[in-house]
């Protein structure tokens, strides 16, 4: 990925933001407004007052509807539930707008496939907001892992988000940790251990679910996922084992502020150069396919 220390040689990408909830206000809006690679131009949300407050805090304009947002930007960032994102992102791609997508990219596999089909048809740039992958420590972890022999790995993504608070949202409570935390954990396992070629699950994603992954290099990894346990702050940890000492990444030790300049520059670079990054919508679809296979195995 592009280093955040590289001078930005292009004009800023003008980005419209869909959503004005806690994540949009706390992360998307300030990150996109910080520049120099991007400029937040407009905000649209179902709650107009929230959109006005979010926009005003960052020198952007609140707009009345999604079509007006499309007229005011060259790229669209989404901070809304996955079912809403998938439908609106299709419209944005068909309007020629680059896409900064939340994970999961759709609520289900058919909607994710439809979105990626439209992205490929239109040729717009896309990127998925897989937070941890933009942190320099996580990037170093993946690079080191790809150069060692890994026999097996264990990981976890645990939090109390579903027990109450801003992130106990209807789609998370209905679909659970597999759809919410699964993309983060599976992405890092797939990137560091090797491509996942088979996956099985046991448990209830609304309470606790265990994943067993088989990787193309013969390694096996396990992941424990839950958003319904009293763990605050949340835990996301990866341990890789082989003939060398264990390689460990604990994202709870990371300052996530270091992610945002890297993410912003990677997205703007993809938009300005037309060259997709590693974490584009196709990556999001790969993760959604793994999640769908895991969910199907858990119901057998």
Q: What is the pLDDT of residue 189?
A: 98
Q: What is the pLDDT of residue 14?
A: 98
List the one residue out of 190, 189, 172 whose CA is nearest residue 181: 172
CATH 3.30.360.10-classified regions of the chain: 136-253
Contacts of 298 (CB under 8 A, 6+ apart): 178, 201, 202, 203, 204, 205, 209
Q: Is the pLDDT of residue 48 over 50?
A: yes
Over the stretch 90-145, which tens digit does the pLDDT of each residue have? 999 999 999 999 999 999 999 999 999 999 999 999 999 999 999 999 999 999 99
Q: What is the pLDDT of residue 200?
A: 98
Query: CA–CA separation, 283 vs 57, rounded Å?
Result: 32
What 3-state DSSP class applies to 102? coil
Mean pLDDT of 43-67: 97
Domain 136-253 has CATH 3.40.50.300: no
Over the stretch 199-239, which tens digit does the pLDDT of each residue have? 999 999 999 999 999 999 999 999 999 999 999 889 999 99
Query: CA–CA separation, 122 vs 34, rounded Å?
Result: 28
Over the stretch 154-182, which tens digit does the pLDDT of each residue have? 999 999 999 999 999 999 999 999 999 99
Q: Are 52 and 44 in contact (CB under 8 A)?
A: no
The beta strands (E) that lie in 159-244 are given as 196-204, 208-215, 220-226, 235-241
Q: Is the pLDDT of residue 252 over 90?
A: no
Over the stretch 64-87, which tens digit does the pLDDT of each residue have? 999 999 999 999 999 999 999 999
Query: CA–CA separation, 61 vs 287, rounded Å?
Result: 34
Does the global pTM surpass 0.85? yes
List the one residue out of 288, 14, 265 whose CA is nearest residue 127: 265
List the one residue out of 48, 102, 85 whose CA is nearest residue 279: 102
Query: CA–CA separation, 164 vs 217, rounded Å?
Result: 40
Domain 13-131+257-280 has CATH 3.40.50.720: yes
Q: What is the pLDDT of residue 7?
A: 82
Contacts of 112 (CB under 8 A, 6+ apart): 86, 104, 105, 106, 284, 285, 288
Contacts of 210 (CB under 8 A, 6+ apart): 201, 202, 203, 222, 223, 224, 225
Q: What is the pLDDT of residue 298?
A: 86
Over the stretch 257-275, which tens digit does the pLDDT of each residue have? 999 999 999 999 999 999 9
Query: CA–CA separation, 51 vs 176, rounded Å?
Result: 28
Using the structure block, give the residue that is written with the tokens 């919508």. Answer: 281
Query: CA–CA separation, 132 vs 48, rounded Å?
Result: 31
Q: Is the pLDDT of residue 2 over 60?
A: no
CATH 3.40.50.720-classified regions of the chain: 13-131+257-280
Q: What is the pLDDT of residue 232?
A: 84
DSSP character at residue 130: -
Query: CA–CA separation, 239 vs 78, rounded Å?
Result: 32
């Amino acid at each position: 990925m592009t280093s955040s220390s590289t001078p930005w040689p292009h004009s800023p990408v003008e980005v419209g933001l869909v959503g004005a909830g806690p994540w949009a206000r706390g992360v998307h809006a300030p990150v996109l407004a910080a520049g120099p690679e991007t400029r937040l131009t407009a905000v649209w949300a179902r709650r107009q007052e929230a959109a006005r407050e979010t926009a005003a805090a960052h020198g952007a304009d609140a707009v009345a509807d999604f079509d007006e947002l499309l007229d005011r930007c060259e790229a669209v960032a989404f901070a809304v539930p996955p079912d809403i994102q998938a439908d609106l992102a299709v419209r944005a791609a068909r309007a020629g707008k680059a896409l900064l997508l939340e994970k999961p990219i759709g609520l289900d596999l058919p909607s994710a496939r439809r979105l990626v089909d439209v992205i490929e048809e239109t040729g717009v740039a896309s990127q998925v907001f897989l937070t941890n992958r933009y942190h320099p420590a996580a990037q170093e972890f993946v690079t080191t892992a790809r150069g060692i022999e890994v026999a097996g790995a264990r990981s976890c993504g645990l939090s109390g988000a579903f027990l109450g608070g801003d992130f106990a949202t209807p789609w998370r409570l209905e679909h659970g940790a597999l759809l919410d935390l699964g993309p983060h954990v599976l992405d890092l396992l797939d990137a560091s251990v090797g491509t996942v070629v088979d996956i099985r699950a046991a448990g209830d994603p609304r309470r606790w679910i265990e994943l067993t992954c088989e990787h193309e290099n013969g390694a096996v990894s396990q992941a424990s996922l839950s958003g319904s346990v009293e763990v605050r702050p949340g835990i996301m940890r990866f341990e890789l084992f082989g003939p060398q000492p264990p390689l460990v990444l604990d994202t709870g030790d990371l300052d996530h502020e270091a992610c945002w300049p890297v993410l912003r520059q990677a997205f703007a670079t993809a938009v300005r150069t037309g060259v997709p990054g590693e974490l584009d919508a196709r990556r999001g679809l790969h993760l959604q396919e793994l999640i769908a296979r895991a969910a199907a195995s858990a119901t057998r």
